[in-house]
Amino acid sequence: MLQRVKVLCAGLATGVLLAISVAPGGIAQAARSAESAALSNAQQAAVQKISSYFNKMRSLKGEFTQISPKGRVSSGIFYIAKPGRLRFEYAAPNPFIIVSDGQWLVIKNKKKNRADQYPLSATPLRLVLADRVDLLKQAIIRKVEQVDDLTTVTLEDRDQIVPGHLILVYNNSQSELQQWVVVDGQGRRTTISLSKIEAGVKTDPKLFKVKLPDTRKPKSDR
């Protein structure tokens, strides 16, 4: 029997609700075609431009606004330091903090002092937090749209570890990622919009560590 585990993943950048099907002994794979859509030369160049952006990006700091599948709005600040590290701090009353140390993604509920951790490799964030990114090779590109100054790329994990897809919105005039949308296997959408982005900032390594709650039961007195 498959268990449905709800994972809060930021994705980028990255504070994003994902549904991950976890089966005993591994992650269930979606039975989908691993073929990308036929892309024109201009569309391929647009995807490569976004890959280049991720490769040039080594560290970021900024603010984010998240809209959940139910329309709930949360906000906070984020930090990214490649490869693989990120931190999303939600403003009150949202009690969550999400941290990746490059291997593990930890979702902590500060109010309840509970935390869960998952391999970063089991989330779409690994596609954009990797040291080297090549979306044309590493992802299944479903759609590329270019309207005004925005390029929107819809992609799936080529390994199909996680059901659903990721939508990246890149601002060409500002040369930065503006938004991403995670659509889970059931079609639920979580939107993350980024603002006040600062590139090349120094980040404290402690930002990407989180102390897990001690869940051990206290020893009974003898």
CATH number, position 171: 2.50.20.10
Is residue 30 in some structural domain? no
In a domain, 202, yes or no: no
Q: Given strand 17-23, what is the order of strands in its sheet? A: 3-8, 17-23, 26-27
User: pLDDT per residue over 55-74, tens digit each?
Assistant: 998 999 999 999 999 999 99
Residue 31 contacts by C-beta under 8 Å, 6 or more apart in sequence? none
What is the pTM for the complete model shown?
A: 0.76
Q: Does 207 fall in a domain?
A: no
Residue 213 lies in a domain: no
Reported as a pLDDT band with limits 50, 70 and 90, residue 185 is confident
Structure token digits, residue 141:
């590109």
Counting the structural domains of the chain, the total is 1
Residue 204 belongs to some domain of the structure: no
The pLDDT, as a whole number, for residue 2 is: 28
Q: Domain range holding 166?
A: 3-22+41-195
Distances (CA, A) of 96 to 115, 176, 182, 188, 209: 9, 26, 18, 20, 14
Q: How far apart are CA 176 and CA 87, in angstroms?
A: 19
Each residue's pLDDT tens digit, 114-169: 888 888 887 777 777 889 999 999 889 999 999 999 999 999 877 766 677 889 99
How many other β-carbons are positioned within 10 Å of the β-carbon of residue 193? 15
Kindly provide the residue ranges of all beta strands, DSSP E only, lying in the chain, ordered along the sequence.
Answer: 3-8, 17-23, 26-27, 59-67, 73-81, 85-90, 96-101, 104-109, 114-119, 139-147, 150-157, 164-171, 176-184, 189-199
